[in-house]
Structure 1
């Protein structure tokens, strides 16, 4: 069985800081990251979805964590096709617009290229330190299964090389009927890690909890089962604590997945208070017992 790494999708969330999960001695950003890294071997950087990171920030992350620690980094929203606030871009790359949100087509071609270049170069310190796991591309709910979207996934992977990307879908068309086999086959053909998700069902953005390895690295993200999934309040949307029974049901599935990959990343994204940290710690214990 391959290695399983468990972590959470944030370590700086305001509600986490207010929950008391960190000891009083972890009273600076440096000490909090160090404390987190003593509890878990993996973390997902969520802030990079909302704004491109600074290279100096990534350098500090690399310096403040153990040699075998891993960061998965969420791709900036604009690079995945999501809308972004103009103010999220570096000042010199912001378009002259009154739009509240912008899309890639709102940028001049060279600006778009510069945005890609800066996003990736900012991750160099993590990559150079051997601490960059994958860049997570979570595509929007309108990103359906079609040839042009498959081509964009390949373009993304090519742009990021030698850094690795992992692909998370949010439209059910990728898994309808025979499409599931087609989707997984496409990712396997191009050695691209698939991101399995556990999430509320019955919504437009819902995808089934398909668990499969399409590369030597597998990723599973737990979003919870909040009955307020469509809420614009992040704490309501992700305010869910998995029960012991739910985690126990998932543990053998994760072990089976680890049998198909060299490394499996398990990330809890139910980031409200210390829910994610509690569930991640419980899952680690379950997997160790198994």
Structure 2
């Protein structure tokens, strides 16, 4: 099956005017059957939040949960855990409602641009995989070295051997802090595709108050979506379920592109939630 959705459900143009934030996931699930949970990157989520999200979505809905920032070396701000052991255990506890409901698609470990291909980092990936034994986990790199001509084959073999789901990216090609699109599934059951847009000018220019808001400012055109239709058809021959998440939402384009792509792939989802009535 091909699951198509977006990253996060907070800010999109699919909601009735004036809809409260607490009701948005219910409405989101009337349009898409998968979503990336970004809140889990910034803080390990309390059970009450996850239970609400699970209860707000239909039985066929699936969550891609982003790994907590301390687990991937971002560490923006204080990490409220005394050890990595404690941090991983707390994160896994937060996944319980997803697992119990059968709605956990995978956990996404997205590593930062400075996480390059070297022995210490390979060892840390092994550590993460061991700590997440029994969980479906996806791996996304942001450093080009992993897919250089010297390491690409080894990286893919490593991911297969360690049972990492490949998170394949469409993103600007802007030096060592970006990765090429590598159309190779490493798991026969699941593959993740994340569409970051192609805003090369903003991709590798960190700094400034609004950098993160413009980094994903991009709208895919029909030709680019057709290109990705062919890519998905190739990946379908390698992996049973494909998850496609649009992350190009700096200008509000992600949901529209995701809907366009659903139509382009000739998909009609069953099991969506009922749309909320727009009274005002």
TM-score by length of 1: 0.85
Distance 1:112 1:138 in 2: 17
Q: CA deviation at 1:30?
A: 4.0
Say if 2:8 and 2:38, in contact at 8 Å, map to a contact too.
yes
Distance 2:135 2:149 in 1: 32
Q: CA deviation at 1:273?
A: 4.1
Q: 2:33 aligns with which of 27, 35, 41?
A: 41
Are 2:14 and 1:21 aligned? yes
Distance 1:68 1:157 in 2: 27
| Per-residue Cα deviation, 1:172-220 (whole angstroms, up to 9, x for no partner) | 1111114111111111122211111011112331111111100021111
Secondary structure, in 3 states, of the residue corresponding to 2:165? coil
Distance 1:180 1:138 in 2: 18
Between stretches 148-157 and 213-222, larger displacement belongs to 148-157
Q: CA deviation at 1:147?
A: 2.8
Q: Which residue of 1 aligns with 2:70?
A: 78
Q: 1:62 aligns with which of 54, 61, 72?
A: 54
Between stretches 163-172 and 202-211, larger displacement belongs to 202-211
Secondary structure, in 3 states, of the residue corresponding to 2:63? strand
In structure 1, runs of 5+ residues without a counterpart are 94-107
Q: CA deviation at 1:35?
A: 1.0
Q: 1:280 aligns with which of 246, 249, 258?
A: 258
Are 2:243 and 1:265 aligned? yes
- More helix by proportion, 1 or 2? 1
Are 2:190 and 1:217 aligned? yes
| Per-residue Cα deviation, 1:231-272 (whole angstroms, up to 9, x for no partner) | 442221111111111111110111110111011111111122
Q: CA deviation at 1:72?
A: 0.4
Flag as ranges the 4+ runs of structure 1 deviating above 6 A. Answer: none
Q: Which residue of 1 aligns with 2:91?
A: 119
Distance 2:133 2:51 in 1: 20
Q: CA deviation at 1:117?
A: 1.2
TM-score by length of 2: 0.88
State the superposition RMSD in angstroms. Answer: 1.6
Q: Which residue of 1 aligns with 2:278?
A: none
Q: Which residue of 2 aligns with 1:244?
A: 222
Say if 2:218 and 2:251, in contact at 8 Å, map to a contact too.
no
Are 2:161 and 1:189 aligned? yes
| Per-residue Cα deviation, 1:52-96 (whole angstroms, up to 9, x for no partner) | 21111011111110001000011111110113201xx44xx4xxx
* Alignment length (residue pairs): 261
Q: 2:116 aligns with which of 110, 135, 144?
A: 144
Q: 2:202 aligns with which of 228, 243, 262?
A: 228
Matches within 5 A, 1:97-136: 108=82, 111-136=83-108
Say if 1:21 and 1:274, in contact at 8 Å, map to a contact too.
no
Distance 1:178 1:286 in 2: 36
